[in-house]
Amino acid sequence: MDERPVVFIDSGVGGLPYCGEFARILPMESIVYVADRENFPYGPKSKKELSDLLAVLVARLVVRMDPKLVVIACNTASVSALADLRAAFPNISIVGTVPAVKPAALSSKTGRIGILATERTISDQYSRHLVERFAPECAVEGIAAPELVEFVENDFIASSRAERESMASNYIERFRALGVDSLVLGCTHFLYLAEEFAKAAGGDMKVFDSRAGVAERAASLLQARGTTGERVLYVTGTRPLEESWHRFAGLFRIGSCLLLDDAR
């Protein structure tokens, strides 16, 4: 038995669907979700800035929570900082989240796949290497969608289904016009609109994400299991928590939602 928590990290609410999938597979694990709201959004930051700020955050969490596993539930953070984090914390298993290029390339008939992500993810060499390795025969179209990150983080809870559908179909049409028939949701925030994307894509475009793969990978690395199923969401920064945070936490059956600086 190992009651230490599995810690999930994202810039905001994006990693919660990943955490939800992990909790579905292993409901008795203790989970700490950390939304780095103080540094949101990650997408416009440089690789160096992200690597530095994540090293500081992970160091704090290691001291305070002694995690048995860390999941970077954010594509932008993973492509930018995973290698540096693994080098800085060699005794901790760190699972990253990167665009699901492989299944998208395998499924494409037109040989054109799309990646919807942040500018940072699209431009990083990690993503280029993923394409070279897993989609060498494909043409890849990347579209950066910082406004969709903001929409999910700030407006999702109050949004209507029609607003969400219009957001998703807007991007689907742009990819369709480029001849894309396999689309990768390469930002964890976009999973909140997974149903809307699938609906807009219809029968002729398939939409892929890495949620199941990341949750399974994390589960496979655990050497000993937890028994409490305790779940806490922490938010960085000092701004008081808005009601929306409690509603996001509620969506994933997370009991407490606290400011990290207030936590002991």
Closer to ligand DGL at the Cβ: 168 or 187?
Answer: 187
Of the candidates 51, 118, 182, 236, which one interacts with ligand DGL according to CB under 6 A?
118
Residue 76 lies near ligand DGL (rule: CB under 6 A): yes
Residue 75 lies near ligand DGL (rule: CB under 6 A): yes
Closer to ligand DGL at the Cβ: 151 or 226?
Answer: 151
- The single residue listed with the structure tokens 């993503």 is 127
Q: What is the 3-state secondary structure (H, E, C) of 31-96?
A: EEEEECHHHCCCCCCCHHHHHHHHHHHHHHHHHHHCCCEEEECCHHHHHHHHHHHHHHCCCCCEEC
Residue 149 lies near ligand DGL (rule: CB under 6 A): yes
Is 19 catalytic? The answer is no
Of the candidates 20, 41, 142, 213, which one interacts with ligand DGL according to CB under 6 A?
41
Residue 16 CB, nearest distance to ligand DGL (Å)?
10
How far is CA 108 from each of CA 96, 101, 105, 183, 187, rounded to the nearest angstrom? 25, 11, 5, 9, 20
Is 187 catalytic? The answer is yes
Site string for ligand DGL, 174-203 (x = CB under 6 A): -------------xxx--------------
Residues in 221-260 at the binding interface with ligand DGL, rule: CB under 6 A: none
Q: Exactly one of 19, 74, 138, 257 is catalytic; which is it? A: 74
Residue 114 lies near ligand DGL (rule: CB under 6 A): no
Residue 80 lies near ligand DGL (rule: CB under 6 A): no
Residue 98 CB, nearest distance to ligand DGL (Å)?
9
Of the candidates 5, 17, 43, 67, which one interacts with ligand DGL according to CB under 6 A?
43
Closer to ligand DGL at the Cβ: 31 or 226?
Answer: 31
Catalytic annotation, residues = 74, 187
Binding site for ligand DGL (CB under 6 A): 10-11, 14, 40-43, 74-76, 118, 121, 149, 187-189
